[in-house]
Amino acid sequence: MKDLISLHDLTSEEVKGLLELGLKLKKEQKSGIEHHILKGKTLGMIFTKSSTRTRVSFEVGMTQLGGYPLFLSSNDIQLGRGESIYDTAKVLERMLDGIMIRTYAHQDVLDLAEYANIPVINALTDLLHPCQVLADLMTTYEHKGKLEGLKLAYIGDGNNMAHSLMYGCAKAGMDCAIATPENYQCDAEVVANAKDDFKKSGKELILTTDPVEAIKNADVVYTDTWVSMGQEAEKAERQKIFMPYQVNGELFKNAADDAVFMHCLPAYRGFEVTEEVIDGPQSVIFDEAENRLHAQKAVMATLMG
């Protein structure tokens, strides 16, 4: 494991190892045990897409690991002013021990990982969000005591979250159901890769336009915003199309009685999810958000330690 670009690239054992390390580091941190695994190491954090949870979790996580996080917005580096990814990668590898990037184009992350001789972490692209799903799997394990044999249902846009959840569920031995409207379905290449992963795992992948079919007996119910960064011009149209996919109390009744609700945040109450669900007793969104810290520490420690 040289980089973290996609969970599809990892083996089930590698995913399990990251989750176990994340849980171990969380337990140590809660007990006041310091773990300066990355003492003297520096992580460059490139942001062309802003984020609350990604920035805080990587900065705090790197500090708790004894290293130094360096925030680099598109206004701070020449990559945002036309310098090539190749030149940027070659400069940064001389000064840093790892690079985290949160950006729009997935190809930029692939190119950065190809050219840089240091670990590269995909903190989000328009195609994938692997770091979030590691936190989601950690949270599921904490609340369910297992991952193998559970079912996760994702209701909403066939976006980067849906893509990485498919990959993550397959690697964790979970069934996965994705419900999206027509014309807002998952990327065809990602679906093909995910089907291969599910075939190897012996688990089921359901792709449907029916949210009731997807959520039936689900142990984990997941949704995401209908309007991601860069889609603001489509807001009114998307809200109209996606309203039948709102996760509300009536839809949630079709899940398992002890199902938990997850959302990667930020959430827009009254749109993709109602207050009765997201603020209800089965919601674990803040446990999930906290676990971004611990999952990302596991990734950094594994790649840079």
Look-up of token digits 């994340």: 22
Residue 98 β-bridge partners: 43
pLDDT at 80: 56
Note if 132 is an active site residue. yes
Is there a binding annotation on residue 108?
Answer: no
Is 65 exposed, middle or buried (CB count within 10 Å of its CB: 0-12, 13-18, 19+)? buried
pLDDT of residue 95: 98
Any binding-site annotation on 94?
no
The one catalytic residue among 64, 132, 246, 296: 132
Which of 8, 238, 292, 294 is catalytic? The answer is 292
DSSP per position, 127-181: S--HHHHHHHHHHHHHHHS--TT-EEEEES--SHHHHHHHHHHHHHT-EEEEE--
- Residue 229's SS3 state is coil
Calpha distance 43→136 (Å, rounded): 23
User: What tokens were used for 118?
Assistant: 């240091």
Beta carbons of 160 and 130 less than 8 angstroms apart: no
Question: Any catalytic annotation for residue 8?
Answer: no
292 catalytic? Reply is: yes
Q: Give the span between the Cα atoms of 156 and 221, in whole angstroms.
A: 11
Does the model's pTM come out above 0.95?
yes
Confirm or deny that 102 is annotated as ligand binding. yes
130 is in an annotated binding site: yes
Per the DSSP assignment, residues forming a β-bridge with 128 are: none
DSSP-based three-state secondary structure for 224: coil
Active site (annotated) includes residue 129: yes
Instruction: Give the model's pLDDT for residue 75.
Output: 80
Tell whether 239 is in a known binding site: no
Q: Per the residue annotation, which of 224, 238, 246, 296 is the catalytic one?
A: 224
The ranges of the chain with pLDDT < 50 are none
The answer on whether 81 is annotated among ligand-binding residues is: no
Per annotation, catalytic residue among 3, 55, 64, 102? 102
pLDDT of residue 247: 98
Asked whether residue 53 is marked as a ligand-binding residue, the answer is yes
Model pLDDT, residue 248: 98
